[in-house]
Structures are given as structure tokens and as C-alpha cells.
């Protein structure tokens, strides 16, 4: 006998008759059962004592169950339409679900419409979903008879003797559940994409066809999600980049993964770099500049030729010496450190550089600005004494939050990557160093009030690290900042400082990049702002628009005045176009301020101000506009 709380809040006691019967009696719709916070199948036996909560379709806890069932409806429809299809796996995922199939013949996007129609039928049929437990031998015989090789492989990895299947109508699938009680509950479902996927993600194994879909408890939620997808599509930086004349990539001529920054993109980059440099000087960093290539022996010493060779380009010969394009900046910074004997009084030393590096990426993974082959890291190396590391990490987090905040990123997720405790032999550095470094990272995070997820086994071999993910305006997560200890290179380069005991000591070194790379960060910024940059970043902050030819000299005078005040302004006087045309163009280019000059304004030293938002401020003295733009720049906000 268990106490059951229904979605309505009603409490009932359920006996051996079972939960499903009791629910049917009360006409209650149940998606799943919550027991100690775990989602369970409504068909499972209830605990002898205690309390369970039945959750309805609308409960967030039921979303994965709904989607998992939706993936079964998909698989059901596919088996009806494509005899001979083989089933692989079909889990719920963050934004919906997918199911992997092996089709006898290739399908394409048009097939999704047919499949969706068949899914609608299955939902309409409102088939009860039953759970079936089979003994292992029977399960194996059944799957073998159906020729479900992938399922058989999965079965062999299940340790249990009783194997769980789910049946809806004529469709039966190996599955651990849980599932909804019937197919009729999957009302709001949509197939969104089609892609290839390796069986178990292994490039050596079969290529399957993956169908992606999403499902929600209500039509509104589904539509909202589809709108969100559409919004993300419109903000795609690969679309906005050329549209706004920010950058271009030329695979055939320049090379894949190599970015050309156009004047407007470069203007934004200039603002980012200037701000970044100012903040770094204020935070006690010293800027350095290092070359793009270095001799092979440098990369031998650093170890990159051992553990990072596949990411590096082939060497070039210069006067009989091998040189490599740099994939990282650290060896150069270390070389600067080593130009003289350092005292403990010199530490911490913080070398920062916007250093351009080149890394080999397979062509299939290149993606706009987000994954490229040549990029500029906002890199720095902090070299310090053991007693300084905690304060250094904390200062680093401070700087990170200050800089990211300026770009409108205020939501963070933090991952702390540490050693795999089972395999400490895979890592360089002593236990004491790892513990001290991890301790400093944890305490710095705590002092900063940042919650974090500890991830054992995620650290690289040379030290623990913090990775910071930000959420953009569409709530998408991007990994930007990384702060990582390096126990490897100080050793390999024999870095040292002289302590107060007169002896040489090994310093700690921390690598950190706050924005990651300027290319990738720029791509993220474009999508975050949808191309409508805040005034301080906007490549063109104001356009001056003459109404007729007569106002051209006045408009140019106004633009000059703005430029003298440090505002990026253009007078659009090159062509005789109607004001309507000029406004539309400025609007499409997402220029924050449109300053209209007609006869009335020219006579009075005024401009009629239209904002990017569509708001009309009416005629304003030029001087007050200058002040308003300067104010918006100083605030670094989106407000105009």
C-alpha cells in the first residue's frame, strides 16, 4: 500500500489493483511517477510503503518521458512505412528526441512529411503502451528473428535476466522506459531534421540515418520552440556576417577556416581589443607580442611535437632549419620569462597577448567563425609562487566576469575539471600540486560565489582547470573562458625563480583565455546581439540622411562634427535616393542612430532622430545628439 499524490493534488491509497487501474477510474492522465525524485514508469510496481507522486504531462519531470515515447511513435511510423528498416537507439535529448535507423534505401527530407503523417495516425489511434518483460533467451530469440542486429548488440550489454520491452499496437521495441500510458498523449510533435550518425558514434562502424524531432505537452510550447529555432536561424552569424559586411571566408582562394575581417568587422574587433587591453593593463597584466613561427626545437622542448602534433601544420624549412606555425603562444611567453633570473619579488608575472595561432582542423568540423584554422587567442600566462595562486585565480575570475559582463553575458555555468582518481598515473605533476591547484580553484570560485560542477577525469594531463560557459540572449550555452594550470611546461623549460632562501624554485603557471578566440567570440557576439550591436561596438554608430540634394553639405557637416566628437558616423550622400530608401537601408544595417536632415533641420542646426528601435525622437540640436551617443557608448549597454 502506497500513498499516491495525483497531479490534481488529491491523495489516494493504491493497493494491489495497481496504479493504472486507479488512475483510469479517476480519469487522471499520468505521464510518469516520481519516487525519491527519480522518474519511474507508471506501470512499475509501487513501493510497499512510502509516498509517490504522479506527474501529469505538463510537469517538467515528464518531458523526457513524453519525448522518449515520441521517439517510439517515430520508430513505429518508420517501421510501417519502410519494411526492412533496422532500429538502433532513440533517446530523448535536450531539445527533443531522435531515433537512429538503418534504412534499406536512403531517405531524404521529403520523407519526413510522410513519416509525420503516419505518426499523426498512430497518435490518433491512441494505442495503449504496454510494458513486457521477457526472459533473456526469449528476448534474444525474438530480436534475432526480427534481424535487429543493433538491438541484439545492446541486449548483450544488459546484465539483467529479465529484459524490458514496450509494445504499442504491432510495434515492439527493446527499451528500458519509462513511457507514457498511450500513444494518444503525444499530441504536439514535429520532426525537425535528418542527419547521418555512426552507430555508437564510432567512425569505424555503420552509418545510420538519424531523424531528429521534438515534442511538447502543449501546442503553445511546441510553437514557441519552433519560433526559437527560427530566431536562432535568423541570427546565424554565417548569414549575418556577409549581410552586414563584417567578414568573409573563401575556401577556394584563401583557404578553408581562414577569416577575412572586413572594415566593419575589424571596427568591432578594434573596440573589443582596445577594451580588452585597457582592462588587462588595469588588472596588472603586461602585454607582449610574439612571432607566428618558431623553430622545431622550441616545440620539442614544450612537448607540442609529442602530444599536439596532429593539431600542427607541417614544418617549413628556413636556411636548413625546421620552423613550425605556432598552435599556442605559451612557449614564447616562457622564453620571455627566461631572459633573466627572476626573483620571488618579481612574481606574479602576467604576460598577455592577442596571439594568432594556427591549428589543423579536419574540413568536416570547420564552421563559420566558430571553428576555424587560424584564430587569435586572448591569451595570458600567469607565472606565480605557490602562495599566490589562489589570489591569482580569483583575480582572473574577477577580470573574466568584468569583461564578459561588458558584452552582456551575465549567466554562467562553471565546470571544474580534475583528475580521474582511478588513473592518477596518466597525469603529470605531484599529488600535492594537483591538490593545491584544485584547492585554489575551488576557493576562488567560492569566494566569487560561483557554483560549479566538479568533473573528475575531465582535466587535461598537465593540470586542473576551470571552464566557464555563458548563456547568450537565446539561452544557448557557449564555452568561452578557460583557466588552466600547467605542471608540464615549467618543468620542460626548467622555469625558475629565486626564493627568499636564495634557492631556485619552480613557479606555477596558469594559462587562461577569457574570450577564447576573437573569431569565435565575434561569431557568438553576432548571434547574441542578432547583428544589432550595442552602440560602443556598432561599426557605424550614426548615419546622417539628407532629405534632398540641398541638404548634402549640411549632412556632411553634421557627420564631420560627430566624427570630431569620436563618433563613428557617415553621411549617406553618395546617391540620390529617397529618404524611405535610406531609412530602410540603415534599418537593415542595424545602425543605432539615423539622423535625418531636411530643410527645417538645416536651418536650425538640428537633426531629426530616428532610433534603430523605430522610435522617433523628433528634431534635436546636434550637440545634444553627440552627448546622447557618447553616453550610450560609455554605458556599453544596449540602450540607445
Partner RNA sequence: GCCCGUGUAGCUCAGUCGGCAGAGCACUUCCUUGGUAAGGAAGAGGCCGUCGGUUCGAUUCCGACCGCGGGCUCCA
User: Catalytic site residues?
Assistant: 330, 359, 377, 379, 381, 465, 511
Minimum distance, C-beta of residue 99 to RNA, in the bound complex (Å): 9
Using an 8 Å Cβ cutoff, are 529 and 572 in contact? Answer: no
Task: Please select the residue that binds RNA; options are 185, 547, 555, 559, rule is CB under 7 A.
Answer: 547
Q: Which of residues 190-209 bind RNA (CB under 7 A)?
A: 193-198, 200-203, 207, 209
Buried b (16+ CB within 10 A) or exposed e, 548-570: eeebbebbbbbbebbeeeebbbb
Closest CA relative to residue 270, chosen from 327, 354, 330: 354
DSSP state of 371: B
Q: Which stretch binds RNA (CB under 7 A): 264-272, 316-324, 327-335, 609-617?
A: 609-617
Closest CA relative to residue 436, chosen from 487, 399, 397: 487
Task: Please select the residue that binds RNA; options are 459, 466, 608, 625, rule is CB under 7 A.
Answer: 608
Closest CA relative to residue 479, chosen from 492, 465, 491: 465
Is 277 a binding residue for RNA by CB under 7 A? The answer is no
Is 579 a binding residue for RNA by CB under 7 A? The answer is yes
CA–centroid distance for 475 within its chain: 9
Task: Please select the residue that binds RNA; options are 389, 401, 594, 633, rule is CB under 7 A.
Answer: 594
Q: Percentages helix, strand, coil for the chain, rounded to the nearest 5? A: 40, 30, 30
Task: Please select the residue that binds RNA; options are 17, 48, 49, 94, rule is CB under 7 A.
Answer: 94
* Cβ nearer to RNA, comparing 96 with 464: 96
Is 258 a binding residue for RNA by CB under 7 A? The answer is no
Do the bridges between strand 497-498 and strand 477-485 make them parallel or antiparallel, or are there none, so unpaired? unpaired
Determine the angle formed by the axes of helices 111-125 and 63-81, rounding to 10 degrees. 110
Q: Which of residues 352-381 bind RNA (CB under 7 A)?
A: 362-368
Minimum distance, C-beta of residue 561 to RNA, in the bound complex (Å): 18
* Cβ nearer to RNA, comparing 210 with 269: 210
Residue 451 backbone dihedrals phi, psi, to 5 degrees: -85, 155
Task: Work out the angle at residue 144's Cα, subtended by the Cα atoms of residues 141 and 146, and round it to the nearest 5 degrees.
Answer: 110
- Residues near RNA (CB under 7 A), total: 72
Is 580 a binding residue for RNA by CB under 7 A? The answer is yes
Buried b (16+ CB within 10 A) or exposed e, 598-622: beebbeeebbbbbebeeeebeebeb
* Cβ nearer to RNA, comparing 159 with 421: 159
Q: Which of residues 129-168 bind RNA (CB under 7 A)?
A: 151, 154-155, 157-158, 160, 163-164
Minimum distance, C-beta of residue 193 to RNA, in the bound complex (Å): 5
* Cβ nearer to RNA, comparing 495 with 608: 608
Is 428 a binding residue for RNA by CB under 7 A? The answer is no
Q: Which of residues 24-43 bind RNA (CB under 7 A)?
A: none
Is 213 a binding residue for RNA by CB under 7 A? The answer is no
Using an 8 Å Cβ cutoff, are 480 and 517 in contact? Answer: no
Is 523 a binding residue for RNA by CB under 7 A? The answer is no
Is 89 a binding residue for RNA by CB under 7 A? The answer is yes
Amino acid at each position: 500500500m502506497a500513498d499516491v499524490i495525483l497531479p490534481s493534488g488529491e491523495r489516494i491509497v493504491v493497493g494491489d489493483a495497481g496504479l493504472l487501474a486507479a488512475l483510469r477510474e479517476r480519469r487522471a492522465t499520468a505521464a510518469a511517477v516520481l519516487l525519491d525524485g527519480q522518474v519511474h514508469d507508471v506501470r512499475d510496481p509501487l513501493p510497499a510503503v512510502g509516498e509517490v507522486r504522479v506527474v501529469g504531462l505538463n510537469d517538467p519531470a515528464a518531458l523526457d518521458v513524453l519525448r522518449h515515447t515520441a521517439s517510439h511513435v517515430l520508430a513505429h511510423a518508420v517501421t510501417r512505412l519502410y519494411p526492412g528498416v533496422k532500429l538502433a537507439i532513440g533517446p530523448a535529448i535536450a531539445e527533443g528526441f531522435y531515433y537512429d535507423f538503418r534504412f534499406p534505401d536512403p531517405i531524404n527530407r521529403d520523407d519526413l512529411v510522410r513519416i509525420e503523417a503516419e505518426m499523426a495516425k498512430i497518435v490518433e489511434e491512441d494505442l495503449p503502451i504496454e510494458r513486457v518483460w521477457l526472459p533473456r533467451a526469449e528476448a534474444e530469440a525474438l530480436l534475432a528473428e526480427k534481424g535487429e542486429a543493433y538491438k541484439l548488440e545492446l541486449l548483450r550489454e544488459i546484465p539483467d535476466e529479465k529484459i524490458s520491452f514496450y509494445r504499442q499496437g504491432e510495434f515492439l521495441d527493446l527499451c528500458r522506459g519509462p513511457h507514457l500510458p498511450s500513444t494518444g498523449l503525444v499530441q504536439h510533435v514535429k520532426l525537425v531534421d535528418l542527419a547521418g550518425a555512426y552507430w555508437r558514434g564510432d567512425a569505424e562502424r555503420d552509418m545510420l540515418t538519424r531523424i531528429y524531432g521534438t515534442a511538447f505537452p502543449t501546442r503553445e510550447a511546441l510553437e514557441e520552440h519552433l519560433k526559437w529555432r527560427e530566431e536562432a536561424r535568423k541570427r546565424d552569424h554565417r548569414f549575418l556576417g556577409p549581410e552586414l559586411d563584417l567578414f568573409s571566408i573563401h575556401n577556394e582562394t584563401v583557404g578553408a577556416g581562414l577569416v577575412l575581417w572586413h572594415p566593419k568587422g575589424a571596427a568591432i574587433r578594434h573596440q573589443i581589443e582596445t577594451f580588452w587591453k585597457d582592462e588587462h593593463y588595469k588588472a596588472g597584466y603586461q602585454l607582449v607580442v610574439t612571432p607566428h613561427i618558431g623553430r622545431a626545437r622550441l616545440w620539442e622542448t614544450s612537448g607540442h611535437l609529442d602530444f599536439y602534433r596532429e593539431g600542427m601544420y607541417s614544418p617549413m624549412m628556413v636556411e636548413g632549419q625546421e620552423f613550425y606555425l605556432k598552435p599556442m603562444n605559451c612557449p614564447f611567453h616562457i622564453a620571455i620569462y627566461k631572459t633573466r633570473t627572476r626573483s620571488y619579488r618579481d612574481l606574479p608575472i602576467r604576460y598577455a597577448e592577442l596571439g594568432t595561432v594556427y591549428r589543423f582542423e579536419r574540413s568536416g568540423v570547420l564552421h563559420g567563425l566558430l571553428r576555424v584554422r587560424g584564430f587569435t587567442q586572448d591569451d595570458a600566462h600567469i607565472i606565480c609562487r605557490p602562495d599566490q595562486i589562489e589570489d591569482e585565480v580569483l583575480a582572473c575570475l574577477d577580470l573574466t566576469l568584468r569583461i564578459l559582463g561588458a558584452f552582456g553575458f551575465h549567466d554562467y555555468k562553471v565546470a571544474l575539471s580534475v583528475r580521474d582518481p582511478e588513473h592518477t598515473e596518466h597525469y603529470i605533476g605531484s599529488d600535492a600540486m594537483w591538490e593545491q591547484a584544485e584547492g585554489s580553484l575551488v576557493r576562488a570560485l567560492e569566494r566569487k560565489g560561483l557554483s560549479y560542477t566538479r568533473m573528475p577525469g575531465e582535466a587535461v594531463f598537465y593540470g586542473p582547470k576551470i571552464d566557464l560557459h555563458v548563456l547568450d540572449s537565446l539561452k544557448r550555452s557557449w564555452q568561452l573562458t578557460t583557466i588552466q594550470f600547467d605542471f608540464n611546461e615549467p618543468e620542460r623549460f626548467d622555469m625558475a625563480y629565486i626564493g627568499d632562501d636564495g634557492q631556485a624554485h619552480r613557479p606555477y603557471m596558469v594559462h587562461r583565455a577569457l574570450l577564447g578566440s576573437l573569431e569565435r567570440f565575434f561569431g557568438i557576439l553576432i548571434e547574441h546581439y542578432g547583428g544589432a550591436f550595442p552602440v560602443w561596438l556598432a561599426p557605424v554608430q550614426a548615419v546622417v540622411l539628407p532629405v534632398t540634394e540641398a541638404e548634402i553639405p549640411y549632412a556632411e557637416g553634421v557627420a564631420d562634427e560627430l566624427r570630431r566628437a569620436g563618433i563613428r558616423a557617415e553621411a549617406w550622400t553618395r546617391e540620390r535616393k529617397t529618404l524611405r530608401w535610406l531609412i530602410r537601408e540603415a534599418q537593415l544595417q542595424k545602425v543605432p542612430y539615423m539622423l535625418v536632415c531636411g530643410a527645417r533641420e538645416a536651418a536650425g542646426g538640428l537633426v531629426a532622430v530616428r532610433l534603430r528601435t523605430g522610435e522617433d525622437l523628433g528634431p534635436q540640436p546636434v550637440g545634444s545628439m553627440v552627448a546622447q551617443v557618447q553616453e550610450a557608448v560609455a554605458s556599453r549597454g544596449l540602450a540607445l
